[in-house]
């Protein structure tokens, strides 16, 4: 549960009928103690012991640790919801798929933005052809650095990178999901803020298989005092109309008296994470995976291609 989303997942799962939270496993003793206090759940020192007692498992570890946990779950016949990106290498991601196939378990990638009402509305309009032939897509996924909350996010070994690894996959997945095709080419400029251990800002120029051009800005560009964690926006330009989607636009602004200058944006409305977890529970009960291993794998390929493009100084073909 090293990922920052793990606490919220635990709270949301408790709202779902017929779901019992059994426990968790975490190698970091401080994180384990804090999570145990927050949730009241028991900690299991051995992941195999926990896997033997559950029907489904959420893998919310550091990126580099996910392969071993997925393999443990799959060997025990436990269905998996895995945080994104799936791993830090393509080889580890491929091994995860092989383990799930061998164990006969279903696998779901954690892409909650597919359940965000603005994203669903935009996809419906695209599928209906309301924007006309598309000309370009521009996306941003900004936040403060999550390393302020979990240091491993900025550790190249544990995370496999920085902002690119953390944020590219969401918009890459939305592009694939909305357009129904793969991303064929990636050109990227990746930069690191002075003194930061991993990349903090970047710009990707993508070309989809049908020739549509798109851009992704995945930067950790928000200051620590920003009112909300970050935001995800897409601007889709068509011949007949332009659509601008802001996935986190529903909020109330709170100005705490004790902290002048630090307002907070309180979200309301439907929770995309809740929709994703409901779909995961349905999958554990027998439904097919709505967001497959391949969805996670293809988005991860785009992030890794961005790093390769930066190193080579030229576009990378997928």
Q: Which of 5, 313, 272 is nearest to 118 (CA)?
A: 272
Structure tokens that stand for 186 in this block: 């990636």
Which pLDDT belongs to residue 203? 98
Identify the segments of the chain with pLDDT beneath 70: 227, 229, 251, 253-263, 265-269
At 32-42, the pLDDT tens digits run 999 999 999 99
At 193-229, the pLDDT tens digits run 988 999 999 999 999 999 999 999 999 998 887 767 6
Structure tokens that stand for 27 in this block: 């190698």
Which pLDDT belongs to residue 285? 98
Which pLDDT belongs to residue 271? 85
Residue 74 pairs in a beta bridge with: none
Helix (H) or strand (E) holding 159: helix 156-159
Q: Please provide the DSSP assignment of 74-111 as one string.
A: HHTT-EEEEPSS--SSHHHHHHHHHHHHHHT--EEE--
pTM of the model: 0.93
From residue 166, give the alpha-carbon distance in Å to each of 26, 51, 86: 21, 27, 11
CA 116 – CA 120 distance, rounded (Å): 6
Query: Rounded to the nearest 5°, which phi and psi values hold at 76?
Result: -90, 5
Which pLDDT belongs to residue 278? 98
Taking CB atoms within 8 Å and a gap of at least 24, the contacts of 148-155 are 148/224, 149/4, 150/2, 150/3, 150/4, 152/2, 152/62, 153/4, 154/196, 154/197, 154/198, 155/62, 155/197, 155/198
Say if CB 198 and CB 161 are below 8 A apart: yes
């Amino acid at each position: 549960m090293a990922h920052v989303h793990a606490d919220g997942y635990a709270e949301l799962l408790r709202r779902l009928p017929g779901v019992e939270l059994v426990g968790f496993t975490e190698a970091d003793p401080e994180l384990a103690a804090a999570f145990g206090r927050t949730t009241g759940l028991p900690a299991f020192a051995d992941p195999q012991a926990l896997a033997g007692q559950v029907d489904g498992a959420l893998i919310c570890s550091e990126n580099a640790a996910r392969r071993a946990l997925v393999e443990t779950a799959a060997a025990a016949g436990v269905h998996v919801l895995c945080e994104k990106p799936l791993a830090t290498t393509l080889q580890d991601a491929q091994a995860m798929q092989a383990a799930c196939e061998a164990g006969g378990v279903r696998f779901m990638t954690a892409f909650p933005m597919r359940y965000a009402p603005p994203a669903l509305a935009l996809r419906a309009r695209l599928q209906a052809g309301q924007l006309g032939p598309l000309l370009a897509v521009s996306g941003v996924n900004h936040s403060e650095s999550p390393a302020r909350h979990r240091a491993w996010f900025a550790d190249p070994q544990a995370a496999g990178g920085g902002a690119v690894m953390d944020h590219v996959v969401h918009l890459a997945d939305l592009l694939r999901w909305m357009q129904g095709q793969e991303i064929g080419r990636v050109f990227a400029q990746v930069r690191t803020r002075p003194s930061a251990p991993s990349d903090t800002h970047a710009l990707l120029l993508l070309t989809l298989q049908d020739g549509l051009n798109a851009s992704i800005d995945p930067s950790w560009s928000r200051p620590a005092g920003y009112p909300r964690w970050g935001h995800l926006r897409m601007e889709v330009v068509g011949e007949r109309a332009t659509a601008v989607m802001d996935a986190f636009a529903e909020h109330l602004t709170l100005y705490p008296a004790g902290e002048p200058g630090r307002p907070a944006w309180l979200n309301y409305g439907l929770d995309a994470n809740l929709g994703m977890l409901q779909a995961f529970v349905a999958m554990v009960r027998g439904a097919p995976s709505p967001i497959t291993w391949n969805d996670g794998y293809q988005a991860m390929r785009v992030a890794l291609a961005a790093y390769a493009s930066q190193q080579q100084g030229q576009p990378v073909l997928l």
